C-alpha cells in the first residue's frame, strides 16, 4: 500500500499485479452535502455488512480540508467502533492538487481494498466538484444522501448529482421536513422516468407491437431510483437501504443497462489512468519550461493558450 500511495518503487507494477485479485468487491459510493450524515450512515452500513460476515473497506475522500483534516477526523470518530476490527479497513484521502488526480488515487486505493478481499468497498465523498463526480462514477451503486430542509435537492440538481444517483437517501428523517424532501425527490425521479419512456416511444411508428416490445424492454432495463428515509444516528431505515442496494446490484447483474454500466466504468477507469500517466509523463518531459512559460504569461508576452501549445510541441519533440 505504501508504494502505491507514494507512487514509489514499481507502484504501477504493483497495481498491475493486484489486478487478477480485483473485481470481486461491490463498490458503494456515498455522496452528498457536508453534514448530511454520510459518515454516520457509512458506519451503519459497515455494521450491517460485518454482521453478514463480510470484509469491508472504506475510503473517505475529503479534499475540502487538506490542511485541518477536521472532517476526516470526524469521519474517523464516526466510524471508530470499527477501528479495531481486523476485517474493516478505513482509509482517508485528503490531498488535492498532488501529481495524479484525487480520483485516480482513490481508484487505486479501492483496487487495493478489493484485492485485500473486501466484499464491499464504501467510498464517501462530498458531492461537489469534478473530482467527486469522477469518483462517484467509479462506484457500482451510488447513494446520494440528503438532509431535510437544507435545500440539498436544489443543490443536487445544480451539481449534476441527479445523474449519478442510483439511490436517494433522505437522512435525518427524525427532523422536520423529511417527508417533503422525500416527496420532492420522488417527483423528480418520476419526471425523469416519464422522460425516459417518452424517449422509448420514438419507436412508435414501427407499429404497436414493436412499441409494446420496446416498452417492455425499457421497463425491464430501467432502474427506478428509490428514495429511502433513514435516521443513521439511530440505525433506522438502514436494513431497507441494504436491501435496496442489493436490488440495485441484482439489477445491474441482469440487464443490458448493467452491462453498459460495467463497460463505461472500465472506460472511465482506463481514461483516468491514461490521463494521469500522460500528465506525469508530460510534466517530467517539459520540466522547467513550464515555469519559464508561466513567467512569460505573467509578463503578458504570451497568452496561456500559445504558451500551452508551445509546451505541447516541446513535449512531443522530447
Q: CA 140 to CA 142: how far, in whole Å? A: 7
Interacting residue with ligand GTP among 4, 15, 25, 40 (CB under 6 A): 40
Question: Taking CB under 6 A as the criterion, which residues in 78-137 touch ligand GTP?
Answer: 78, 126
Give the nearer residue to ligand GTP in terms of CB position, either 158 or 309. 158
Question: Taking CB under 6 A as the criterion, which residues in 261-280 touch ligand GTP?
Answer: none
Q: CA 227 to CA 38: how far, in whole Å? A: 16
Question: Taking CB under 6 A as the criterion, which residues in 154-173 touch ligand GTP?
Answer: 171-172
Give the nearer residue to Mg ion in terms of CB position, either 78 or 261. 78
Sheet holding 26-32, edge to edge: 88-93, 56-61, 120-126, 26-32, 141-146, 167-170, 227-229
The interface mask with ligand GTP, positions 186-225, x = CB under 6 A, is ----------------------------------------
Q: CA 125 to CA 114: how far, in whole Å? A: 18
The alpha carbon of 83 is separated from its chain's Cα centroid by a whole number of angstroms, namely 23
Interacting residue with ligand GTP among 11, 18, 22, 34 (CB under 6 A): 34
Give the nearer residue to Mg ion in terms of CB position, either 39 or 44. 39
Q: Which partner, Mg ion, ligand GTP, none, binds residue 232 by CB below 5 to 8 Å per kind? A: ligand GTP
Residues that bind Mg ion (CB under 5 A): 38-39, 75
Following CA atoms 131, 136, 137, 142 in sequence, which dihedral angle do they give, to the nearest 10 degrees? Answer: -170
Biggest CA–CA distance in the chain, Å, is 69
Give the nearer residue to Mg ion in terms of CB position, either 60 or 293. 60
Tell me how far CA of residue 112 lies from CA of 22, 24, 81, 128, 166, in angstroms.
8, 12, 23, 25, 24
231 binds ligand GTP (CB under 6 A): yes
The stretch near ligand GTP (CB under 6 A) out of 71-79, 98-106, 192-200, 267-275 is 71-79
Interacting residue with ligand GTP among 39, 105, 106, 141 (CB under 6 A): 39
72, 39 in Cβ contact below 8 A?
no
Q: CA 264 to CA 31: how far, in whole Å? A: 20
Q: CA 250 to CA 252: how far, in whole Å? A: 5
Give the nearer residue to ligand GTP in terms of CB position, either 107 or 169. 169
Interacting residue with ligand GTP among 12, 94, 233, 279 (CB under 6 A): 233
Which residue from 171, 187, 253 is spatially nearest to 225, judged by alpha carbons? 187
Q: C-alpha angle 164/276/262, rounded to 5°? A: 40
How many residues touch ligand GTP under the rule CB under 6 A: the total is 19
The stretch near ligand GTP (CB under 6 A) out of 79-87, 94-102, 210-218, 227-235 is 227-235
Q: Which partner, ligand GTP, Mg ion, none, binds residue 144 by CB below 5 to 8 Å per kind? A: none
Interacting residues with ligand GTP (CB under 6 A): 34-40, 71, 74-75, 78, 126, 171-172, 174-175, 231-233
Amino acid at each position: 500500500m505504501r508504494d502505491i500511495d507514494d507512487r514509489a518503487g514499481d507502484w504501477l507494477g504493483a497495481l498491475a499485479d493486484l489486478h487478477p485479485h480485483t473485481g470481486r468487491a461491490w463498490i458503494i459510493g456515498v455522496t452528498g452535502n457536508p453534514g448530511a450524515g454520510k459518515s454516520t450512515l457509512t458506519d451503519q452500513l459497515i455494521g450491517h455488512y460485518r454482521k453478514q460476515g463480510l470484509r469491508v473497506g472504506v475510503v473517505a475522500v475529503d479534499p475540502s480540508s487538506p490542511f485541518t483534516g477536521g472532517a476526516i477526523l470526524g469521519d474517523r470518530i464516526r466510524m471508530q467502533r470499527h477501528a479495531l476490527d481486523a476485517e474493516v479497513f478505513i482509509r482517508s484521502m485528503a490531498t488535492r492538487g498532488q501529481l495524479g488526480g484525487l480520483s485516480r488515487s482513490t481508484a487505486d486505493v479501492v483496487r487495493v481494498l478489493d484485492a485485500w478481499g473486501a466484499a464491499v468497498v464504501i467510498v464517501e465523498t462530498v458531492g461537489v466538484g469534478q473530482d467527486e463526480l469522477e469518483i462517484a462514477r467509479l462506484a457500482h451503486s451510488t447513494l446520494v444522501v440528503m438532509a431535510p430542509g437544507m435545500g440539498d435537492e436544489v443543490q443536487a440538481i445544480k451539481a449534476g448529482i441527479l445523474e449519478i444517483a442510483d439511490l436517494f437517501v433522505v437522512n435525518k428523517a427524525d427532523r422536520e421536513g423529511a417527508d417533503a424532501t422525500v416527496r420532492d425527490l420522488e417527483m423528480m425521479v418520476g419526471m425523469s422516468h416519464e422522460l425516459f419512456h417518452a424517449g422509448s416511444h420514438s419507436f412508435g411508428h414501427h407499429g404497436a407491437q414493436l412499441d409494446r416490445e420496446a416498452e417492455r424492454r425499457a421497463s425491464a432495463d430501467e432502474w427506478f431510483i428509490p428514495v429511502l428515509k433513514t435516521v443513521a444516528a439511530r440505525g433506522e431505515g438502514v436494513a431497507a437501504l441494504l436491501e435496496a442496494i442489493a436490488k440495485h446490484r441484482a439489477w445491474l447483474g441482469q440487464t443490458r443497462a448493467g452491462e453498459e454500466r460495467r463497460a463505461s466504468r472500465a472506460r472511465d477507469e482506463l481514461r483516468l489512468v491514461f490521463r494521469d500517466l500522460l500528465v506525469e509523463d508530460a510534466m517530467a518531459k517539459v520540466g522547467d519550461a513550464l515555469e519559464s512559460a508561466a513567467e512569460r504569461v505573467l509578463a503578458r508576452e504570451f497568452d496561456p493558450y500559445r504558451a500551452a501549445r508551445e509546451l505541447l510541441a516541446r513535449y512531443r519533440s522530447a
